[in-house]
Structure 1
């Protein structure tokens, strides 16, 4: 099944905020590198998605210089880098058209803000008919309100599992051994 890895918002914009000190996995970019390499080795497409808020003057405004991937992640020539302005990676980009043109019917999602941009992309992708793999330890978030980052991640897994996505670990995604979801 043709698969694409979507690396969502693993960008300096988050690291430039004071709240970065509370991120659930500050080494996320390093942890994702083996998955990116495994996806490439399998011939899967890798899409890099960055969140932007042009004209705001904040850390997501491209003119501030923070809208770039966290090291050591680097796109290869030909790997699309898409810039979105909403929570999901589909609505404000041509991601869907690119996936369809490449014949991709499975997406694997990873990135920053487990419950926001990564979860929202998983939900929209499912609604659009893609088989979605949500790599739970390939995401990171921060506490919000009375919830810890761990509680937010647990909640996201609970609401996505078998409804919108198949939940995978990084190890499963790297090995690509998780069975396909029945339709």
Structure 2
């Protein structure tokens, strides 16, 4: 159990949950094994005595993979909160919206946040932007995030993954990650790779 925040820093693990593993599109994600990189960050922050905060996305009553009734709203295999670590659930893109995350971080004296998880451009990026707006110093662990192909606006629903990937208008994961780096870097966050964070002791 973390009882001391050594550097006023915390790691936010956003939506790294089993829900995504059930989707056909996850096989085409930027990193299907992203949990291993997230796990390295978790170990790093725990080893420093810093906070690790887990956030899971829920869509109650929808019957989707994000509906808690389906039993999939839990961390990906290999990831789990340690005793005493905070786990929050959210229904919006930002981990700050509709939760007491900001109040908790303030009470703990945390001012530096590192974000990892799923999806790169959606909940991870949105949380990072909002954290910056709230005055936190943000680090975006880009290769400890993952995302999936995005079909073009107005695309017909229900297409197979192959049809989505064959559509030249589809935005592919590499391009999505690149766009997020350009959007966040030096404006909302420091964008760093896991190895940089571990080597420099960033958080």
Task: Please list the CA deviations of residues 50-85 of structure 1 after superposition, one character each: whole Å capped at 9, or x if unmatched.
Answer: 000011111100000110000101111110110000
TM-score (norm 2): 0.85
Residue 161 of structure 1: aligned partner: 185
Post-superposition offset of 1:110: 0.2
CA distance in 1, matches of 2:192, 2:31: 17
Unaligned ranges ≥5, structure 2: 1-6, 152-169
Q: CA RMSD in A?
A: 1.2
Larger Rg: 2
Unaligned 5+ runs, structure 1: none
Instruction: Establish whether residue 120 from structure 1 lines up as the match of residue 144 from structure 2.
Output: no
| 1:170 matched residue in structure 2 | 194
The CA distance in 2 between the partners of 1:98 and 1:58, in whole Å, is: 30
Q: Which ranges of 4 or more aligned residues in structure 1 deviate by more than 3 Å?
A: none
Rounded to whole Å, the distance in 1 between the matches of 2:8 and 2:127 is 18
Task: Map residues 34-53 of structure 1 onto 2, 5 A cutoff.
Answer: 34-53=40-59
TM-score normalized with structure 1 length: 0.95
How far is the alpha carbon of 1:174 from its aligned partner?
2.0
Q: Distance in 1 between matches of 2:62 and 2:149?
A: 24
- Quote the residue 2:111 is aligned against: 105
